[in-house]
Amino acid sequence: MENLATELSHLKSHVQYPASRAQVVAACNKMHDLPREDAQWFERTLPEGTYKNANDVVAALLTKV
């Protein structure tokens, strides 16, 4: 659960919205405080699109799990 809280914090504060998939992934690649496997899963799973906010990113990821 700790990783999830950190990841959500990154999405809320480190990504400037609106953001493309590439922009979100680039911002999240700087999540040095998370396990590499989490960042790799995020990069593989996030669909193409433009995201208005962190909630949009989370919703897109939830459709893939």
| Model confidence pLDDT, tens digit, residues 3-56 | 778 788 888 988 999 999 999 988 876 667 778 888 888 889 999 999 999 999
Burial degree of 61 (CB within 10 A; 0-12, 13-18, 19+): middle
The 3-state DSSP class for residue 20 equals: strand
pLDDT score, position 1: 44
Does residue 65 carry a pLDDT above 90?
A: no
What stretches of 14-65 show up as alpha helix (H) in DSSP?
A: 21-28, 36-45, 54-62
In this prediction the pTM is 0.84
